[in-house]
Amino acid sequence: MVYILIGIVVVVVLYFVITFAVESGVYYALIKFERTRKKEDSIVIDNKKDDDF
């Protein structure tokens, strides 16, 4: 009986750890993607300024 309870606790802890790792990884990737997109947008804006001349 004790082994079953310990097994359930271990599975729950692993589930939360894996879920947290995936969530933070996705969040980090979205932040990184957003930064690169903003850089690309600013480059496009700079190119439009050059076209005005």
17-33 pLDDT, tens digit each: 999 888 888 888 878 77
The total number of structural domains in the chain stands at 1
Q: Which domain holds residue 29?
A: 1-46
Work out the average pLDDT over 33-47: 69
Residue 14, pLDDT score: 95
Could you tell me which of 49, 16, 25 has the C-alpha nearest to residue 8? Answer: 16
- Alpha carbon separation from 40 to 2, 23, 29, 31 (Å, rounded): 57, 26, 16, 14
Asked whether residue 44 carries a pLDDT value surpassing 80, the answer given is: no
Domain annotation covers residue 10: yes
Asked whether residue 3 carries a pLDDT value surpassing 90, the answer given is: yes
Domain annotation covers residue 53: no
Sequential DSSP letters for 6-38: HHHHHHHHHHHHHHHHHHHHHHHHHHHHHHHHH
Residue 36, pLDDT score: 75
